[in-house]
Amino acid sequence: MAISSDRDESQDEEKPSGPREAAREARETLYREHVLGAAEQVFAEQGFEAARVQDISRQASLSMGSIYGLFAGKEQIFAAIVERRREEILALARHALAQGAAPAAQLDALARAYIAFFHAHPNFLRMHLRLGAAWATTARMVASESHPVIVEILSLQTDLFRRGVEAGLFVEEDPAYLGALFSGIDQIHLANWVSSGMQEDLPSLQKRFVRLVRRVFHKPRPA
């Protein structure tokens, strides 16, 4: 009975800390998301090299101590933004390619999904474009370092083009090359949208990209 009583008292003592810990974690998550959103805008406007933690602090309206309580520095903030967005891109790629449609329809769905994502997150697009690296090249370099998210995204795209080539729907080329080319065209299309002031609406932006993708990757029909 004594042991049972001791356990009950211990559990009673721990109960108040449970809700407090949950509340603390919820606040930390909220602050973290707020900081990442502010940092995404700072990186979009200034670029990674020029941006300072002070700028992020000012944009987020939080003290430097609060920022450093969550992240060691701007490198970790930048990496956290990229990691979060990569996971979101992977999720939409999985969804677009899990519809059971033919490869041509899946390619259309993937093209629309990518454009919709970057249209919804223009600051992430701008901060990425500021890096000045080709998406296809960067993706392959990161994949070579065995980054699981990038590896899966590239694998999904390569498999889509492989199935399309085998079905006689897409041009006969190395599927991995076609996947890289698709990423490159996506980047150029979106970079043109940014340089033009991002005035074009989403349906129009998607329609132009899908039309271009079909022209590049679909096998010409016999006359």
Pair (60, 169) in one structural domain: no
Pair (12, 43) in one structural domain: yes
Pair (92, 29) in one structural domain: no
Q: Is 76 within a domain?
A: no
Q: What is the CATH number of the domain that holds 55?
A: 1.10.10.60
* pLDDT mean for each 10 residues of the chain (223 residues): 36 56 73 94 95 95 92 94 94 90 94 97 94 66 68 93 96 94 94 96 97 95 73
Please report the pLDDT score of residue 90 as a whole number. Answer: 95
Question: Measured between alpha carbons, how far is 142 from 76 in angstroms, rounded to an integer?
Answer: 17
Pair (43, 19) in one structural domain: yes
Q: Is 128 within a domain?
A: yes
Please report the pLDDT score of residue 71 as a whole number. Answer: 93
Pair (33, 108) in one structural domain: no
Residue 17's CB is within 10 A of a number of other CB atoms, namely: 10
Pair (10, 97) in one structural domain: no
Residue whose entry in the numeric block shows the structure tokens 């502010």 = 38
Please report the pLDDT score of residue 223 as a whole number. Answer: 65
- Amino acid in the structure at residue 184: G
Pair (85, 66) in one structural domain: no
Cα 103–Cα 163–Cα 180 angle in degrees, nearest 5:
85
Q: Is 155 within a domain?
A: yes
Which one, of 219, 13, 20, 44, lies nearest residue 131 by Cα? 44
Pair (138, 222) in one structural domain: yes
Q: Is 66 within a domain?
A: yes
Listing DSSP states for 10-31 in one string gives HHHHHTTHHHHHHHHHHHHHHH
Pair (28, 102) in one structural domain: no
Please report the pLDDT score of residue 24 as a whole number. Answer: 67
Global pTM reads 0.83
Residue 187 near residue 132 (C-beta atoms within 8 A) = no
Which structural domain, as residue segments, surrounds residue 211?
81-223
Q: What is the CATH number of the domain that holds 85?
A: 1.10.357.10
Residues 6+ apart with CB under 8 A from 57: 63, 64, 66, 67
Residue 160 near residue 110 (C-beta atoms within 8 A) = yes
Question: What tokens were used for 119?
Answer: 């249209």
Question: Measured between alpha carbons, how far is 25 from 31 in angstroms, rounded to an integer?
Answer: 10
